[in-house]
Amino acid sequence: MKFKHLSIILLGITSLFTSAQEVNTPIKKTNFFTENTTVQLRSQFSIGGASPLGLPREIRAIKSYNPTLQLGIETNFTKWFSAEHKWGIRTGLRVEGKGMKTESRVKDYLTQINYNGSQVKGNFTGEVRTEVRNTYLTIPLLATYNINKQWGVYGGLYFSTAIDKAFGGHVHNGYLRQTNPTGQKLIFEGDKKAEYDFSNEVNNFQWGTQLGAEWKLNNNFLLFGDLTYGFNSLLDNDFEAISFSMHNIYLNIGFGYQF
Amino acid sequence: MRINHLFQALVLATTFIFTSCIKDEAENNEADIEMANIGKEFLLTAPIVSNDKVTFRVSKSLDLTKVAPEFKLTPGATIVPANGSARDFSNGPLTYEVFSESKQWSKTYKVEFINAEISTIYHFDKFREVAGGFYGNDYYHVFYETQLDDATHEEKELFEWASGNIGYAMTDGSEENAKKPENFPTAATTEGFIGTGLKLTTQSTAPLGPIMGSPLAAGNLFLGEFDLSTAVSKPLKGTKFGMDFNYEPTILRGFFKYKRGDNFEINNTEKNKITEDRWDAYAILFEAGIDDFLFGDHDFKDDKIVSIARIPKELKIETNTWTLFEIPFEYVEGKTYDANKKYKLALVFSSSEEGSLFNGAIGSTLYIDEVEILKN
């Protein structure tokens, strides 16, 4: 279902570009959108996570980490300032998944669990499983520079809006102190676990920086890798049940086709 | 294949980066009394330690004007007055304050010493209203028993009855839907046989209990301790039956009324033995050191059990008039009462016999009053 939406959006974008070209081509004038421009179609997979900047003291160990399969697809448009295609600016539209699964051991970790339907805030010591799976619609705004025929680098900002949000997991093998570290102790052991779901607290808007490089195999095909780092917190700032702010940090690797 | 390796390397690298940033462990924020102790020779049963109260049940030979209890605290925590300070507990409970290792948090404990043996006549006339639940706005009844103090001629609290009410308070997901004492499985009723009495009702835990594996809650009352922190994961291990009792009991006697609910729900077919709901009450004398208890899953089969008085099924009937039950204690084969040994008594009342299996009929209501344990 999600993929269906995705492909419709992409089709729409591609046809937009195509129709723009069709309209513009007959008017044989120097045109901003046709002269010294390139269009790319890219697909990527992302590895990274929602992470605090520097792990807080509450996190005692990362027991497992799974980047999960996070895919993205992008079409972009580059306007070069000269016929040599040295410097240019690039924008586009990207649909991308950002997510991960982790299992960590925490001590005195402020959280909010679902216990028999009650949202219970407290300090948990034990094991926490976290699963993040967000889908974003992203517009990059980048400066591009071609070092030589094969290598190009780019960097700038990106702006995202979340179109599908999931941030949740469960706590187990430990205990919760209700309200604060001196509150009633509730032990979760054996099969007993308590779930949490912060999906509604995921920020709809994300912005950050993107830096990367691309390597052209030939005139059309290219490989690329870039890093994205979110400036604003993944979860709403006024959400108090987690005591530190988390940021989207991802390495994206993929290939593209340049028209 | 190579992509696969690259991917694994990336995962490893990412994990390593995260792991290498693990900071030094913070100082503890908890401020608990984990265990409490005085000389073992004075203890009648293991001290009951809850989140903010410690109860020592001790023998009369302990001089309460000068007791120096020892507390095992959360690692790094400190206590005021200091561990082992002698204090005068003869005038009632005293408070202690525990400070966390980090000094960020502290907690006040009430510490009490009770040096009277438990009574053997129970009127169910004394109860208090206690706030509970996650939002602190649910109120339920806690029964306790008192005795006239010989020296001061004042009513002195002997012990508190345990029930599952504190756990039931946590089956409600809504802050708006505050529960009143009469909504709880265990409550006091003004329609007792004499004065107030005990009313036990099998209640639904819907809408949220079923998801958590406890679709109903039978009303219960027992001698012992309901350990909420354990009951979260192991409901039957959270009910600890037994209080120090050093007589030879002969008869369990009292009055009851019973109305069974309409639909008998069987959630545990494996151990189910009955086809319609019925009430239950029993007393078990068992040999027990200070740390020994019977738990909710004893099934009358524990080696420690010496004698049992249990309502026979002929008496587990519906009646709307107060009806007497008078049940003799029967010895388990090969067991006798030995005045030189230490014993505990488990006394349990339940509105649904198979309530611990979550088999019962919602609405089943048991009234109990004026219970007595006759002894030699």
Cβ–Cβ below 8 Å for B30 and A182: yes
**Tokens matching residue B371:** 């219970």
Cβ–Cβ below 8 Å for B233 and A188: yes
Q: Which residues does residue B156 pair with via DSSP β-bridges, in sequence order?
A: B147
Give B 301-340 residues with CB within 8 A of chain A: none
**Is B15 near chain A, with CB under 8 Å?**
yes
What's the rounded Cα separation, in Å, for the pair A204 and A161?
Answer: 5
Q: Provide the pLDDT for residue B3.
A: 60
Judge contact between B107 and B97, C-beta under 8 A: yes
Contacts of A115 in chain B (CB under 8 A): 134, 170
Q: Looking at the partner chain, which of B10, B26, B30 has a beta carbon nearest the beta carbon of A47?
A: B10
pLDDT band per the 50, 70, 90 thresholds, residue B212:
low
A11: number of Cβ within 10 Å: 10
The domain spanning residue B346 has which CATH number? 2.60.120.890
What's the rounded Cα separation, in Å, for the pair B143 and B196?
Answer: 11
pLDDT band per the 50, 70, 90 thresholds, residue A30:
low
CA–CA min distance B141, chain A (Å):
19
**Is A181 near chain B, with CB under 8 Å?**
yes
Contacts of B171 in chain A (CB under 8 A): 116
User: For testing the chain A interface, which of B18, B34, B137 should be mutated: the one with the most A CBs within 10 Å?
Assistant: B18
Judge contact between B223 and B117, C-beta under 8 A: no
Q: Provide the pLDDT for residue B258.
A: 97
pLDDT band per the 50, 70, 90 thresholds, residue A115:
confident
Among chain B residues, CA nearest to A178: B134
Peptide bond preceding A26 in cis form (omega within 30 of 0): no
Cβ–Cβ below 8 Å for A51 and B135: no
Judge contact between A223 and A217, C-beta under 8 A: yes
Among chain A residues, CA nearest to B53: A184
- Same domain for B107 and B121, yes or no, is no
The domain spanning residue B8 has which CATH number? 2.60.40.2340
Among chain B residues, CA nearest to A50: B18
Q: Provide the pLDDT for residue B148.
A: 81
Domain residue limits, chain A = 1-35, 37-258
Cβ–Cβ below 8 Å for A186 and B229: yes
- Same domain for B169 and B35, yes or no, is no
CA–CA min distance A138, chain B (Å):
24
The tens digit of pLDDT for each residue in A123-167 reads 999 999 999 999 999 999 999 999 998 999 999 999 999 999 999
Contacts of A180 in chain B (CB under 8 A): 105
- Same domain for B99 and B121, yes or no, is no
ipTM over 0.90: no
pLDDT band per the 50, 70, 90 thresholds, residue B23:
confident
The tens digit of pLDDT for each residue in B51-69 reads 999 999 998 889 999 999 9
Q: Say yes or no to pLDDT of A192 above 70.
A: yes
Helix, strand or coil for residue B40? Answer: helix
- Same domain for B343 and B272, yes or no, is yes
What's the rounded Cα separation, in Å, for the pair A113 and B256?
Answer: 41
Contacts of A183 in chain B (CB under 8 A): 51
Q: Say yes or no to pLDDT of A3 above 80.
A: no
Q: Provide the pLDDT for residue B72.
A: 96
Q: Provide the pLDDT for residue A22.
A: 46
CA atoms within 13 A on the CB side of B227: 19
Q: Provide the pLDDT for residue A51.
A: 81
What's the rounded Cα separation, in Å, for the pair B246 and B288?
Answer: 11
Q: Looking at the partner chain, which of A58, A62, A175 has a beta carbon nearest the beta carbon of B18?
A: A62
Domain finish residue from B115, B146, B169: B115
Helix, strand or coil for residue A14? Answer: helix
- Same domain for B203 and B238, yes or no, is yes
Cβ–Cβ below 8 Å for A181 and B135: no
CA–CA min distance B233, chain A (Å):
6
Helix (H) or strand (E) holding B109: strand B106-114
Give φ, ψ of A56 to 5 degrees. Answer: -70, 165
Hey, what amino acid is at B94?
Answer: L
**Is A61 near chain B, with CB under 8 Å?**
yes
Q: Which domain holds residue B21?
A: 1-115
- Same domain for B164 and B261, yes or no, is yes
Contacts of B212 in chain A (CB under 8 A): 116
- Same domain for B95 and B196, yes or no, is no
- Same domain for B74 and B217, yes or no, is no
Closest to A87 measured CA to CA, from A154, A187, A173? A154
- Same domain for B299 and B156, yes or no, is yes
* DSSP one-letter string for A30-74: --TTTTTEEEEEEEEEEEEEEEESS--TTEEEEEEEE---EEEEE
Cβ–Cβ below 8 Å for B174 and A117: yes
- Same domain for B348 and B337, yes or no, is yes
Contacts of A116 in chain B (CB under 8 A): 170-173, 205, 208-209, 211-212
**Is A62 near chain B, with CB under 8 Å?**
yes
Q: Looking at the partner chain, which of A55, A184, A192 has a beta carbon nearest the beta carbon of B18?
A: A55
The tens digit of pLDDT for each residue in B130-178 reads 988 877 888 999 999 998 877 777 888 889 999 999 888 877 666 777 8
Any idea what DSSP says for residue A28?
Answer: -
The fraction of chain B above a pLDDT of 90, given in percent, is 67
- CATH code of the region A37-258: 2.40.160
CA–CA min distance B54, chain A (Å):
14
- Same domain for B350 and B241, yes or no, is yes
pLDDT band per the 50, 70, 90 thresholds, residue A11:
very low
Cβ–Cβ below 8 Å for B25 and A187: no
A82: number of Cβ within 10 Å: 9
pLDDT band per the 50, 70, 90 thresholds, residue B109:
very high
CA–CA min distance A70, chain B (Å):
13
Domain finish residue from B80, B115, B150: B115
CA–CA min distance B337, chain A (Å):
38
Q: Provide the pLDDT for residue B73.
A: 96
Contacts of A192 in chain B (CB under 8 A): 232-233
Domain finish residue from B63, B86, B115: B115
Interval B294-298 mean pLDDT: 93
Q: Looking at the partner chain, which of A48, A118, A185 has a beta carbon nearest the beta carbon of B173?
A: A118
Task: Assign 3-class secondary structure to B313-350.
Answer: HHHCCCEEEEEEEEEECEECCCCCCCCCCCEEEEEEEE
Into how many domains does chain B fold? 2
The fraction of chain A above a pLDDT of 90, given in percent, is 59
Interval B269-292 mean pLDDT: 94
**Is B24 near chain A, with CB under 8 Å?**
yes
Q: Say yes or no to pLDDT of A10 above 70.
A: no
- Same domain for B86 and B178, yes or no, is no
Q: Provide the pLDDT for residue B108.
A: 96
Residue that has been written with the tokens 């999931």 in this structure: A166
- CB contacts < 8 Å between A and B, how many? 111
